[in-house]
Amino acid sequence: MESNATGATEPTDATEAGDDLAALGRVGVIGSGAMGIGIAQVAATAGHPVSLVDSESAVVAVALERLGATLERLVSKGRMTAAERDTVLARIGAVETIDALPECSLVIEAVPENLELKREVFAQLAEHQPATTLLATNTSSIDIGSIADDVTEPERLLGLHFFNPPPLMRLVEVVHTEQTSPAFVDHAAALMQTWGKTPVRCASTPGFIVNRVARPFYGEAQRLAEAGVADPATIDAILRDRGGFPMGPFELTDFIGQDVNLAVGTSVWEQTEHDERYTPTLFQQQLVSAGRLGRKSGHGVFTYAADGTVERPEPDAALADRLVGGPIETDPLARTVAMLVNEAADLVHRGEAGADDVDTAMVLGVRHPKGPIAWGREIGFDVVADQIAALDAAFPGGRYRVSPALTDGSLT
């Protein structure tokens, strides 16, 4: 396959496109915000020439300056040589507009989370890039099929969902629509491996894997606090110290931002036609309407001093002892884990992701101590099914529906 003047190549089918990606074709990145510049760094470090486009040229300049400073820190820590830093920076160039983007093997879009904006970007890309250019969106929550509407050859459109910050987070969800060519999915996944990432595959389902399966981690804790079963500090301590989660759900949502976490949950709820499983809690809605957004506003579930020190009540260890191992309705750990397993089982049951990919995604994406399917296998899927059924009896209404995969033997 020949290179053209820009260093890009012209594949003629999906297989050749894959060869082209492996041959370090040019990567275009649209949007140079938090995610775009990180993705550009990863692609350039993997050896690709990278063209970065942002609607605000000043933003690109600042992003490149920051990247220079980041790489400088890596050099001073001995994790990169000055020559490697120069090579990576030299591979990244800014381009004014999408129309002016040279031919690319792959373009990754990372503009703000807005369907209309993304559709405009892809319509322009489809018009100006060759039909064989693989087009990817880094959306966290928008249905990728709906972005594909204005794309000619929609079989080349998929999601490459990087996690923040892209250079440090290994996980990439490779998300396909009903139209995406399986060959392109294979090639994108293989490419992510050459970039040092761990790809997992999933269908374009609300929240993909991580943002879908993680919902009960927050929702169960909020419901338990709302019902007065335990206070947030005690629930956090149970999940952290006895469950092995790196942070409890309240400290984690304070860290993420209650508004950001609520927006993700609400998006999943809306995209699932208001499935009761994802109904936002009053607990979190009230926090957000009171401006208690978490660390960034100095006050969320807990209070944060200017230096970031958290002020929170001591967990009630005696209460934790009584709750853990007690009835499922009031056991924060068993109830949360059962719901994580159930959610993951449903995703696998619907054929939206494979069991191993779900486990990998939850461990790498949100650092859960175990993948939910492996956890369910350990507990016993029949035990989890009984726990969910007991929760359904206690709290009827559809939130606690037993996944068919827990009882049909398909996961064992």
Ligand X SMILES: NC(=O)c1ccc[n+]([C@@H]2O[C@H](COP(=O)([O-])OP(=O)(O)OC[C@H]3O[C@@H](n4cnc5c(N)ncnc54)[C@H](O)[C@@H]3O)[C@@H](O)[C@H]2O)c1
Binding stretches for ligand X (CB under 6 A): 30-36, 53-56, 59, 110-113, 117, 121, 138-140, 162-164
342 as an active site residue: the answer is: no
* Angle, CA of 375, 378 and 383, to the nearest 5°: 95
Collect all residues with Cβ–Cβ distance below 8 Å to 275 and sequence separation of at least 6: 269, 398
Contact 288, 262 (CB under 8 A): yes
Q: How far is CA 46 from the centre of its chain?
A: 21
* Minimum CB distance to ligand X, residue 255 (Å): 12
261: left (phi over 0), alpha (psi -120 to 50) or beta: alpha
- Distance, in Å, from the CA atom of 42 to the CA atom of 36, rounded to the nearest integer, reads 10
Residue 19 or 113 with smaller CB distance to ligand X: 113
Residue 142 or 405 with smaller CB distance to ligand X: 142
- Distance, in Å, from the CA atom of 18 to the CA atom of 192, rounded to the nearest integer, reads 12
* Minimum CB distance to ligand X, residue 380 (Å): 35
274 as an active site residue: the answer is: no
Closest among 367, 374, 337, 30 to 171, alpha carbons compared: 367
Residue 139 or 387 with smaller CB distance to ligand X: 139
Three-state SS for 280-291 is: CCHHHHHHHHCC
* Minimum CB distance to ligand X, residue 121 (Å): 6
- Backbone φ and ψ for 16, nearest 5 degrees, come out as -65, -35
Q: What is the DSSP string of 56-80?
A: SHHHHHHHHHHHHHHHHHHHHTTSS
What ranges in 208-327 are assigned the alpha helix state H?
210-213, 215-226, 232-237, 249-256, 258-271, 282-289, 317-323
Which one is catalytic: 103, 109, 173, 352? 173
* Minimum CB distance to ligand X, residue 12 (Å): 29
32 as an active site residue: the answer is: no
Residue 216 or 365 with smaller CB distance to ligand X: 365
Please give the residue whose beta carbon sits closest to ligand X in the complex. 33
Residue 121 or 189 with smaller CB distance to ligand X: 121
Which one is catalytic: 32, 211, 342, 403? 211
* Minimum CB distance to ligand X, residue 297 (Å): 18
Residue 97 or 193 with smaller CB distance to ligand X: 97
Cβ count within 10 A of residue 404: 13
Instruction: Give the containing element (helix H, strand E) for 325.
Output: none
299 as an active site residue: the answer is: no
Which one is catalytic: 140, 141, 342, 403? 140
Residue 25 or 365 with smaller CB distance to ligand X: 365
- Distance, in Å, from the CA atom of 283 to the CA atom of 264, rounded to the nearest integer, reads 16
Residue 159 or 243 with smaller CB distance to ligand X: 159
Q: Strands of 106-109's sheet, edge to edge?
A: 92-95, 50-53, 27-30, 106-109, 134-137, 157-162, 171-176, 198-203
What does the block give as tokens for 41?
Answer: 């760094």
Q: Is 171 helix (H, G, I), strand (E, B) or coil?
A: strand
Q: Is 127 helix (H, G, I), strand (E, B) or coil?
A: helix
Active site residues: 140, 161, 173, 211
